[in-house]
Amino acid sequence: MRDAKLREIDERAFLRRLDPLLDVYAAAMDPPREQLPGRRTIMERHARYPGFRAFVAERRGALARLPGPLHGLAYGFHGERGQWWHDVVLEALTARGGPEHAATWLEDAFEVAELHVRPDAQGRGLGRGLLTALCEGRPERTVVLSTLEGRPDTPARRLYRSVGMVDLLTDFAFPGGGPRYAVMGGTLPLATGAAAERASQ
């Protein structure tokens, strides 16, 4: 995307920019406004998890050295026991396919916590760029994430399938209520080129 640049940011920069990052989340997900303080707290906690990594997609400006308005964000970390999402999904995968099945996906996993692009910037390859940059060079064996269930052919589901990810859980309800999710996983490095094209068909 010509008017956007991907930039990796560290934990400190992530925490400094929580407000604009939360604005991207809100624009993409349209949650009830009363949920945003809780989401902010979760993002603050995530920034301190092991192996944390984050990218933003910034609008290019005349002053290229200065942070610009954000088109998108993506971040994740190394999953381990004691993390809420990890423990909930581990239990569900164990119930579904046994402990070995769950370990295959979660024993050494990079967990993508959030990947969002503002609605007015979607459909231009930013989501793929953010996901690819986020996962590039990761030492983990697998990558896992959850995405709103919706239809199986939503742009997000198509993107994840195109890099080799498969459904691990569908129509899944996390504790506490809310919408249903699909939990997806793939092996690292992500599929690219012909492999990615085959996966998306």
Q: How many CA atoms lie within 13 A of 201 on its CB side?
A: 6
Q: What is d(CA 38, CA 201) in angstroms, rounded to the nearest whole number?
A: 38
Other C-beta atoms closer than 10 Å to the C-beta of 143 total 27
3-state secondary structure of 3: coil
Residue 76: CB partners within 8 Å, gap ≥ 6?
Answer: 52, 53, 110, 111, 112, 113, 134, 143, 145
Of 72, 153, 155, 172, the closest CA to residue 114 belongs to: 72
Backbone angles phi, psi at 171, to 5 degrees: 50, 45
Q: Do 85 and 111 form a contact (C-beta atoms < 8 A)?
A: yes
Give catalytic status of residue 160 as yes or no. yes
What SS3 state is found at 154?
coil
Instruction: Measure the CA–CA gap between 88 and 176, rounded to whole angstroms.
Output: 12
Alpha-carbon 176 to chain mean position: 20
Compute how many other C-beta atoms are within 10 angstroms of the C-beta atom of residue 93.
22
Q: Which of 25, 49, 160, 181 is catalytic?
A: 160
Which residues are designated catalytic? 160
